[in-house]
């Protein structure tokens, strides 16, 4: 497994254990070159899902990409990596159980919204406010790019799901 920090292939598994109710194996790895540490998850993939982007382009569904996107929405939120992993697993299971080989990226966006709603109200609002603006036009990945940008530049919104407000209130401090 290539090191995500320095790109070398000299990485070692330090620890390996079942997680997510035995549905995956979590491995702690470290890089012999740069000392970087990272985690990988191994799990069953039942079928390949193809995502249809807004442009009409088709791409294989990428679980890692989804996982990173969700982490962006949950930035600075006190959520354990295992819970995020379970949430992503739940989304993937839902996608797989639809039985469709291909699906529009907007379907995945809807699942992410639903899952975030249950996991973390702040992240949900963060995601939903951007997603609603973009719903008609944009691709899921663009939405997440926008979220990353707002999370980096805007205030870390402390709004709750009961009072959802778009993130464009730069004067608000929590």
x-marked contacts with Zn ion along 37-56 as a string, rule CB under 5 A: --------------------
Strand order in the sheet with 11-19: 11-19, 24-31, 37-43
Structure tokens at 1: 């497994």
For 33, the 3-state DSSP assignment is coil
72 to 12, 58, 106, 167: CA distances (angstroms): 27, 24, 18, 15
Q: How far is the CB of 29 from Zn ion (least distance, A)?
A: 10
39 vs 149 by CB, closer to Zn ion: 39
Q: Distance of alpha carbon 3 from its chain centroid, rounded?
A: 20
Q: How far is the CB of 64 from Zn ion (least distance, A)?
A: 18
Give me the residues paired with residue 26 across strands.
17, 41
3 binds Zn ion (CB under 5 A): yes
Binding residues among 18-37 for Zn ion as defined by CB under 5 A:
31, 33-34, 36
Residues near Zn ion (CB under 5 A), total: 7
5 binds Zn ion (CB under 5 A): yes
**Which residues make up the interface to Zn ion (CB under 5 A)?**
3, 5-6, 31, 33-34, 36
């Amino acid at each position: 497994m290539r090191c995500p920090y320095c790109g070398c292939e000299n990485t070692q598994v330090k620890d390996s254990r079942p997680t997510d109710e035995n549905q995956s194996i979590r491995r702690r790895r470290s890089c012999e070159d740069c000392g970087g540490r990272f985690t990988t998850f191994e799990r069953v993939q039942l079928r390949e899902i193809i995502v249809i982007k807004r442009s009409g382009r088709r791409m294989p569904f990428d679980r890692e990409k989804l996982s990173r996107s969700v982490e962006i929405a949950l930035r600075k939120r006190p959520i354990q990596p295992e819970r995020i992993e379970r949430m992503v697993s739940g989304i993937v299971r839902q996608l797989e159980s639809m039985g469709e080989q291909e699906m529009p990226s907007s379907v995945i966006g809807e699942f992410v919204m639903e899952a975030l709603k249950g996991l973390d109200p702040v992240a949900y609002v963060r995601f939903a406010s951007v997603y609603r603006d973009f719903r008609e036009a944009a691709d899921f990945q663009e939405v997440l790019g926008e979220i990353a940008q707002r999370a980096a530049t805007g205030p870390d919104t402390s709004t709750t799901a009961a009072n959802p407000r778009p993130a464009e209130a730069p004067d608000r401090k929590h």
